[in-house]
Chain A
């Protein structure tokens, strides 16, 4: 769907993007991750044709990026903004028509979304009369009203209360189900694992990691398990051939231990060793969160 090839963007005295290439597949939810100032917004602006790259190309559905693609892209910028004195309905209509929609169709779609988002009564209100959360909802509708095939959301949940954030999440998933490809730019990793199929990590204007969330997580597994148990009087004996104990914790509910299993051995072997000695209540594999991977990657590079 979207192919970003060797993009370089140089500003006067710093390089915002350095040879960044990303492939986004049709119908996926793609997470564009990176700390503040990494170059995410620069990349998004290039996809939106707000700025042009110094070198490199962007292709959409096998076509080189050109003004005809504007109608296919919906963009929710990180810095939200609407005309404060303009009536909501009129404003929606204006934005939709700027994206190339016909007047009648735009009105129909706006009415559909207003009903869906429970904002029918807002048509004649002005933006300045709405709460911040309501403004966010309006902005979201403005982003998707022209049924874009590619939706780019820059920090979509900032400024939403949990209830509205959930509504927006559901809407995003629904749009995705209907075939829209979604690019999701954020530095808040929790939201990523829940939503994204693929991610790319950008740090200091370079892409440092790229792939499906599952694969990335798998590649960062290191045979670490968390075991919860009740010690029946005495604790279990160590077995350095089977595992190393990383940490041990005693709580009111019982004991907790983190172990790294030696290569060649399995969790089953460890359980076989432990079961005769203690009462096991839970065993889970410790898979690093994207956040941990992110921090690990970034600190390793620094």
Chain B
């Protein structure tokens, strides 16, 4: 056991000390935060490029009713269409919006420009025109628009879940996101760290140091030490990511929120949108923010994090043992392909099923069974957990996962102990079975 500890130490420190580990550890959260910051930045600053739009309204319906927005600047002009066009080309005006007098019957409103207008600009203008027109028509029909705005229903279904601790808010959207992210992380990390185990085994085999090592320790100790060491590298990386991301997010958050200007801008923008949006278009941005933060509080993060770590470890232990067996059976990485498929297939299968089926039917029989089978449960269960899983199901799944890990490790170790000492032979599945049957 003491020697296994030594091996764990070596496997762990030789990887953690690598520059690539540090790079990954700091770069990934920075990338995430950077992306997040960029989105916020764009959202706040918006499109600085203000488009000047001249409106030639021959119908007179829209005169001074179109409101300027952060990137749209309306100017109302008079005159003939031809003159306006010429003027637009010579001046700095970007667009010319032409509303003929008879547009209601012939629907021939035109927007003219040198460059193609962006889709959202056209959409924005259309929205505004429609709103103005709708109001006008409603008034013509003798309906008070103020009454209509008041009567407009603002519905939002609150999903509530009855649990042992009483009722609580159940946000389907948040469950979806959390499940997706957790399952995706497990999927990716099983591949990343499993392959690292496999590479490590192949390295020991090709450099032939394996013979020196197994004259000192049992092959099983070496395999276990390697798997546990690399697993700890994975955990360290996750932990650092969580801490760094949380730290950076808080930092970025305080910086942004403390900036009064920014805050007022965000609020202002929310109001703008709400005012500009066609009545009944749904949530305003601020409402969306509210809903999201509300949904986030419905997610039990310590519980999710705990189960995530358990399923990551369990899945990792199962798959890395198999990866180790594959590594022991080949002489170099290019030969691994024939053995990789049966290992990666259940992972890919569960991931695809999970993203398309389990998230929509977290309690269906298929979802249940996928979250029980040890080879698929790390991904399937992580998708289900945010939706709520009965305690007995979770306990059963975890027990099966531990059992599955013990079983695969036992199988892998039997192949591994023979494989690592076999050089220069192309291995077949038949051969693997034979190795498995060998006595000590």
Contact = CB atoms under 8 A, between A and B. Distances in A.
Contact of A84 (B10, B207, B434): B207
Interface string A200-215: 0000000000000000
Contacts of B7: 98
Contact of B440 (A52, A75, A81): A52
Interface stretch (B208-216, B350-358, B366-374): B208-216
A50 interface: yes
A95 B212 contact: yes
A73 B214 CA distance: 12
A54 B440 CA distance: 9
Interface string A86-121: 100000001101111000000000000000000000
Given A54-B439, A94-B6, A97-B6, A48 B215 contact: yes
A50 B434 contact: no
B217 interface: yes
A7 interface: no
Interface string B1-18: 001001100100010000
Given A45-B421, A52-B440, A81 B212 contact: yes
A13 B203 CA distance: 29
Contacts of B213: 95, 98
A16 interface: no
A86 B215 contact: no
Contacts, number: 61
Contacts of A139: 212
A49 interface: yes
B380 to A, nearest CB: 38
Contacts of B216: 70, 95, 98-99
B33 to A, nearest CB: 32
A84 B203 CA distance: 9
A146 to B, nearest CB: 9
A38 interface: no
A50 B207 contact: no
A82 B207 contact: yes
A91 B210 CA distance: 13
Nearest to A53: B440
Nearest to A11: B438
Given A79-B208, A84-B207, A50 B14 contact: no
B439 A50 contact: no
A169 B71 CA distance: 85
A185 B215 CA distance: 16
Interface in B192-248: 203-204, 207-217
A45 B421 CA distance: 10
Contacts of A94: 6, 10
A296 interface: no
A84 B199 CA distance: 13
Contacts of B440: 51-52
B215 A75 contact: yes
Contacts of A99: 216
Contacts of B203: 83-84
Interface string A37-73: 0000000010011111010000000000000001001
Contact of B434 (A12, A81, A82, A85): A12
Contacts of A50: 211, 214-215, 421
Contacts of B434: 12
Given A50-B421, A86-B14, A98-B216, A77 B211 contact: yes
Nearest to A99: B216
A52 B216 CA distance: 14
A15 interface: no
A132 interface: no
Interface in B395-440: 421, 423, 434, 439-440
Nearest to B18: A85
Interface in B147-205: 203-204
A142 interface: yes
A265 interface: no
B215 A73 contact: yes
Q: Which of A49, A50, A73, A84 has the most CB of B within 10 A?
A: A50
Interface in B33-89: none
A45 B3 CA distance: 20
B429 to A, nearest CB: 15
A188 interface: no
A192 to B, nearest CB: 23
B14 A98 contact: no
B31 to A, nearest CB: 27
A297 interface: no
Contacts of B439: 52, 54
A4 to B, nearest CB: 17
A209 B209 CA distance: 32
A81 B204 CA distance: 8
B212 A75 contact: yes
Nearest to A95: B212
A221 interface: no
Contacts of A48: 215
B209 A81 contact: yes
A207 B216 CA distance: 27
A142 B421 contact: no
Nearest to B9: A94
29 contacts: A12-B434, A50-B211, A51-B440, A52-B439, A52-B440, A70-B215, A70-B216, A73-B215, A75-B212, A77-B208, A77-B211, A77-B212, A77-B215, A79-B208, A79-B423, A80-B208, A81-B210, A81-B211, A83-B203, A83-B204, A83-B209, A85-B14, A95-B212, A97-B6, A98-B7, A98-B213, A98-B216, A98-B217, A100-B3
Given A80-B208, A81-B207, A81-B211, 10 more contacts: A48-B215, A50-B214, A52-B439, A79-B211, A81-B210, A81-B212, A84-B207, A98-B216, A99-B216, A139-B212
